[in-house]
Amino acid sequence: MQNRHLRSLFIAGLAGLVVITVGVLVWIGWLTDTAWLTRARLAWTPMVPMTATAFCLSGSALLAITGMMATPRDKSERWHQIAMVIGVVVALIGARRLIYYWAGWSTNVDMLGLDPQGTPGQMAPFTAVGFFLAGTALAMTAKKRFYPVAQWMAALVLFIGWIGIARYLYGGETTGVFFRMAMPTAVMFAVLGIGVFYARPDGGFMQIWNSDTAGGLLVRRLFPTALIVPVAVGWLRLQGERAGWYGLETGLAIFAMSNVLIFTVLVWHTASRLHVQDNKRREAEHTVRVEKDFSAAVIDSLPGVLYLYNQEGKFLRWNKNFEKVTGYSGAEIAQMKPHEFIAPSDHEALAARIGDVFVRGSSHVEACVQSKSGVVTPYFFTGVTVKVGGEDCLVGVGIDISERVQAEQAVRALNETLELKVAQRTRELQTKNRELETFTYSVSHDLKAPLRGIDGYSRLLLEEYHDRLDDEGRKFLNYVRQASLQMGQLIEDLLAYSQLERRALTLSAIRPQAVLDAMPLGYMDDIESRNIAYTVSLPDVAVRADPNGLAQVMRNLLDNALKFTRATPAPAIEIAGRIEGAKYILWVKDNGIGFDMKFTDRIFDIFQRLHRAEDYPGTGIGLAIVRKAMERMGGRVWAESTPGQGATFFLEIPIHTA
């Protein structure tokens, strides 16, 4: 369609240029006494200068209208005014000559001061009528609302020109009213009439001419034929009659039947084309109808609600489920607004989200649908903007989230129950901690006091009654003292394990080397007195740990290494470390008696021992304290060993980050 509009404007502009060119050539003919430029044949009537001038003006008006149609509306006003002014001038030229004929005034004013050279020197009556109609049509064509009237006037201009052409084509007497119009004038009227038609492809007859409808196809095929074929057949019939091939009656019969035959063939051919196009149109309509039915079926089968409404909130489309959920009929929905289906408590949120959709292109909201019967159902709505008929509309989908909401409520209720249980367990733990603290106090004071008495009295017996006791008595008292000391150490380790579980840790940046440097001097004395090969190689990197907890771990591991290397001829202890990603790996390695790896998990359990207490004294709590401390500090401990070749205890500690 757009291509046809551009082609129409091109034809209109070309017609305007042709009319102007012929007018200029006629003027040149008069000014240079070149007769064939004014009349084409010497026997024919010439075009007078006033007629040539009127054609130049008419062509200019036609070009102005073409420029107006090809220019944006806000910039076309100047072309519009030019076309109207020139059109009025052309109409006045024709009206002036008609007034002269009506009043009986005979004047050579149409020669504009030039010599008529024996010709009438006046504009013919039909020429004056043609210019009056053409000027009026050009002035009206500039206004779209007057264009239908302008087209009828342009048709009369074309008719006048076509009569003049046909009369010159058929020949005969040269004094009639039609022969007073010059042949170039008749041709230019036909061109001008066609140009006026094509100048406005957006209205009237040309709207049908440029359309893709059956009417457009029909008029494009029949109109040119109806305009040309009868004239051509009439000329052929006249030539045959003049040649004596047949008489008047036979010529008329040939003329009539030729027209019948030609138009029958044309109508049949056009009907065949229309039939093919109509079948294609029906197939296309059927395809569209099938696709529309399929789309409607898909939309209606959606589990959620689907709807489409414009910016005024008028519903344009919805699925069956929307009617089912809301309880309203289709006629009722068409008269309602979106907020009328939503619970009042969600109106504000809905309005905000609708605004977001038309501004940003999409949005979503959770809102409760309130049905006609008052049932409220929670829905999750998602909406996006779409163009429908050039208008921004909102298409949305809503999904029932009742099950999700119920699940969320159940989760909230469960969380509340869990919080109550946690609070209850916390109170129970606090009670147990208080009981444990009471027990610890009891152990610390009530159990250690008798042990101190046993140890003290047994020591006094050994010192004061040493001479009165035989060797066996002194041996028994030494056993008593060793047992009380071991029992005291066991109580101290149990208290340390208990305090490690209860006390709050303070995780901070600390360097393992600093912890090792702060170890009691007694460790170094033991190492030096036993000639232990002692090496330390720790990265100077801070870890995130509790200072007291890490110190306890280091002491216990060093105690363990010292204890299990006592029977080794050349004891060696290595404390080293490395960095692996965000972890600090520290190990304590000895060349003591080692252990079987199948017991690797057991050694960290409380009261678990792999060797006899008589051989390697201890309480069986030291490594349990190590594991507990590492777990509470967010690290871990493990061991690797080979019997008779020593053991290595590894610590994995998080590196401190600022």
Mean pLDDT score of the chain: 78
- Mean pLDDT (whole number) for 519-536: 83
Is 583 a residue whose pLDDT tops 90? yes
Work out the pLDDT band at 542, boundaries 50, 70, 90.
Answer: very high
120-135: per-residue pLDDT in tens? 667 888 888 888 888 8
**Tokens describing residue 5:** 């509009």
295-313: per-residue pLDDT in tens? 777 777 777 888 888 988 8
Question: 465 with 474: CB under 8 angstroms?
Answer: no
Residue 602's pLDDT is: 73
CATH fold of 302-400: Beta-Lactamase (3.30.450)
| Axis crossing angle, helix 49-70 with helix 77-103, rounded to the nearest 10 | 150
Is 343 a residue whose pLDDT tops 60? yes
Residue 552's pLDDT is: 84
Is 369 a residue whose pLDDT tops 80? yes
Residue 620's pLDDT is: 61
Domain extents in the chain: 2-209, 212-301, 302-400, 412-489, 506-654
Residue 167's pLDDT is: 77
Work out the pLDDT band at 226, boundaries 50, 70, 90.
Answer: low
Residue 174's pLDDT is: 52
96-126: per-residue pLDDT in tens? 888 887 877 777 777 776 766 666 667 888 8
Is 72 a residue whose pLDDT tops 60? yes
Q: Determine the Cα–Cα distance for residues 321 and 307; give it in Å rounded to an integer.
A: 10
77 or 651: which leads in pLDDT: 651
Is 192 a residue whose pLDDT tops 90? no
Is 339 a residue whose pLDDT tops 80? yes
Residue 585's pLDDT is: 92
Q: What percent of the chain has pLDDT over 90?
A: 6
Residue 197's pLDDT is: 77
- Mean pLDDT (whole number) for 24-36: 84
Q: What would be the CATH architecture of the domain defined by 506-654?
A: 2-Layer Sandwich (3.30)
Work out the pLDDT band at 486, boundaries 50, 70, 90.
Answer: low
Nearest by Cα to 541 from 512, 517, 518, 506: 512
Q: Determine the Cα–Cα distance for residues 18 and 31; give it in Å rounded to an integer.
A: 20
The three state secondary structure string of 145-183 is: HHHHHHHHHHHHHHHHHHHHHHHHHHCCCCCCCCCCCCH
338 or 502: which leads in pLDDT: 338
Which of 7-16, 205-214, 342-351, 422-431 is most confident?
Answer: 342-351
Q: Determine the Cα–Cα distance for residues 138 and 192; give it in Å rounded to an integer.
A: 10
Tell me if residue 197 falls in helix, strand or coil.
Answer: helix
Is 447 a residue whose pLDDT tops 80? no
Residue 22's pLDDT is: 86
Work out the pLDDT band at 588, boundaries 50, 70, 90.
Answer: very high
Is 545 a residue whose pLDDT tops 80? yes
Q: Which amino acid would we find at residue 289?
A: R
- Mean pLDDT (whole number) for 475-500: 62
- Mean pLDDT (whole number) for 172-187: 67
Lowest average pLDDT, out of 366-380, 459-473, 536-550, goes to 459-473
Residue 549's pLDDT is: 84
495-526: per-residue pLDDT in tens? 665 665 666 678 889 999 998 888 776 778 88
Residue 596's pLDDT is: 77
- In terms of phi and psi (left: phi > 0; alpha: psi -120 to 50; beta: otherwise), the region of 617 is beta
Is 617 a residue whose pLDDT tops 60? no
Is 181 a residue whose pLDDT tops 80? no
Q: Which amino acid would we find at residue 610?
A: L
